[in-house]
């Protein structure tokens, strides 16, 4: 396929490279300088989209997505599928679908889980919203870039699933860090706590696969001075999106709201560039209210 890819940052670049490696003809565009193996450079987003059968976007927020959609929708080939892999608010995702439909294009909102490692390794999970026809058109590309794809429903359903998932992740990581901090003060070794919890009812991805305590469990950012696999600032973004959606839907999410406040404080204190599991060293210095 002839593919356009707009947004070639830490996530978009390896995703585009994997598509090129699989034999697709990929043309990219980003405002920042970039060099991606196998990806030709276009002078604008519209140029990257023109004449392409599929156009993917990986952008920072809904406002930028709206701007890019307004540029690429008129330039894209009729019947092309636009695949937005950004994490944005549900309203922005639905607006992007409307822009695509008005231009005679198929569209899928397809945010991802798996981080930079998943993007590089082609092991991402895609959570997708859009019509059956659009999803079917995009599916072969998802199979190259990821290991699991779920069609969650209509327009915006992918973003809905992503923010619900990451609200769970943010809250679970906080309580996992709290448990380690408490174990320290109770004189319980971190290894003993991991050995018990990782095989008991406290089991979670945050504990078992991404342990926030250095030297415990599988290799994780905590073993590399909390250099980010998923930065705290990005977790705050997703938690804020979850609370924005909860407010619009009238949903009670008290734990999600508190998680957002804790990550906001971490970011305000200069920890936004650390991995989100660096909540543990932060909690170690906090006193009980």
Please, what is the end-to-end C-alpha distance for the chain in angstroms? Answer: 58
Active site residues: 162
User: Using CA atoms, how far apart are residues 114 and 124, in angstroms rounded to an integer?
Assistant: 5
C-alpha 30, offset from chain centre: 18
């Amino acid at each position: 396929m002839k593919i356009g890819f707009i947004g070639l940052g830490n996530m978009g670049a390896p995703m585009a490279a994997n598509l090129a490696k699989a034999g697709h003809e990929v043309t990219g565009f980003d405002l920042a300088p970039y060099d991606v193996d196998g990806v030709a450079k276009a002078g604008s987003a519209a140029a990257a989209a023109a004449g392409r059968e599929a156009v993917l976007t990986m952008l920072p927020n809904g406002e930028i997505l709206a701007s890019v959609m307004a540029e690429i929708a008129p330039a894209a080939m009729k019947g092309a599928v636009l695949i937005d892999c950004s994490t944005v608010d549900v309203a922005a995702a639905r607006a992007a679908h409307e822009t695509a439909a008005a231009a005679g294009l198929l569209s899928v909102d397809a945010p991802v889980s798996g981080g930079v490692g998943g993007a590089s390794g082609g092991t991402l999970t895609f959570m997708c919203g859009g019509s059956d026809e659009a999803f079917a058109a995009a599916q072969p590309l998802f199979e190259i870039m990821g290991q699991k794809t779920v069609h969650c429903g209509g327009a915006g359903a992918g973003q809905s699933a992503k923010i619900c998932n990451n609200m769970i992740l943010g809250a679970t990581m906080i309580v996992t860090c709290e448990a380690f901090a408490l174990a320290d003060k109770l004189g319980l070794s971190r290894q003993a706590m991991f050995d018990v919890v990782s095989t008991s009812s406290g089991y979670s991805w945050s504990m078992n696969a991404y342990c926030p305590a250095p030297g415990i469990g599988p290799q994780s950012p905590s073993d590399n001075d909390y250099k980010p696999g998923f930065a705290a600032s990005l977790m705050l973004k997703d938690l804020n999106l979850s609370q924005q959606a909860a407010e619009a839907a009238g949903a009670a999410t008290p734990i999600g709201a508190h998680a957002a406040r804790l990550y906001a404080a971490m970011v305000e204190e200069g920890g936004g560039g650390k991995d989100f599991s660096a909540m543990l060293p932060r909690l170690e210095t906090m006193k009980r209210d």
